[in-house]
Structure 1
Amino acid sequence: MADFSVENIVWTQVLRETFGESVELEDEDGRIEVYDIAAEFEVDGQGYAILVQPDRSAEEYEVLRIVKESDGSLKLATVDDDEEWENVSELYDELTFPEGDED
């Protein structure tokens, strides 16, 4: 199991280098939605992307896995494991909204 702590984060830029500052995702109904890349990082070699819609609060975000295909292309995958999603979300919150900044 990955150690989801700040010390184990490796910041990456693979999505930004590939797609720019935003990505387009297709929802279940086939609609295309644009998301800004808020952050991307690896924990124990697994890449994660934090995406926000431009018209939403920065506190409302999507957590997705960055998956490298055998041909070298990148895709984003849903984090289906609730514990993994929660760990990545809490880690991002810790990095973005440090304790003590609420004053």
Structure 2
Amino acid sequence: MSDLSASSVKLTTRLLEAYGVLIELTDEQDQTTVYRLISEFETETGAYAVLQKDNGLPEDEVEILKIIDSTEGRPELVTIDDDDEWEDVAELYDELTLPFED
């Protein structure tokens, strides 16, 4: 586990400002899916976005993606390939959103 903690998180709005709340993503099979931007934040390891399919089903799992800058300077979303990084960011998102437990 890394040293990521909720206290080191900075909420951002780069994706929101660039694309709005609904973001259309295309997968490797050229299938397009519309996602709702739930959250975006930066940590010392990078910037991340939390998205959920925009189909009205609140039980759908969220997607956590990394935000990088394109060559034009616009934010882009990429898959987090490193399992440890993904686990750390997923745990951090849970920490940010789940009620505090004693």
Counterpart-to-counterpart distance in 2, 1:28 and 1:5 = 33
Shift of 1:63: 0.8
| Further displaced range: 54-63 or 69-78 | 54-63
Gaps of 5+ in 1: none
2:34 aligns to what SS in structure 1?
Answer: strand
Distance in 1 (alpha carbons) for counterparts of 2:51 and 2:4: 19
Tell me by how many angstroms 1:45 deviates: 5.9
- Asked if residue 42 in structure 1 is aligned to residue 42 in structure 2, the reply is yes
User: Which residue does the alignment assign to 1:5?
Assistant: 5
Q: Does 1:79 align with 2:54?
A: no
Task: Tell me the CA shift for residue 58 of structure 1.
Answer: 5.4
Q: Which has the higher contact order (CA 8 A, sep 6+)?
A: 2
Give the whole-Å Cα distance in 2 for the aligned partners of 1:95 and 1:52: 16
* Residue identity in the other structure for 2:63: E
Change in Cα spacing, 1:89 to 1:42, as seen in structure 2 (3 Å) is: same
Match of 2:33 in 1: 33
Is it true that 1:51 corresponds to 2:41 in the alignment? no
- Using a 3 Å threshold, how does the CA distance of structure 1 residues 7 and 59 change in structure 2: closer, same or farther? farther
After superposition, give the CA deviation of every residue in 1:74-95 in whole Å (9 maximum; x if it has no partner). Answer: 2101000001001100111111
**TM-score normalised by length of structure 2:** 0.88
CA RMSD after TM alignment? 1.8
**2:76 partner letter:** K
Alpha-carbon distance, 1:57 to partner: 3.0
Identity across the alignment (%): 40
SS at match of 1:36: strand
Aligned residues: 100
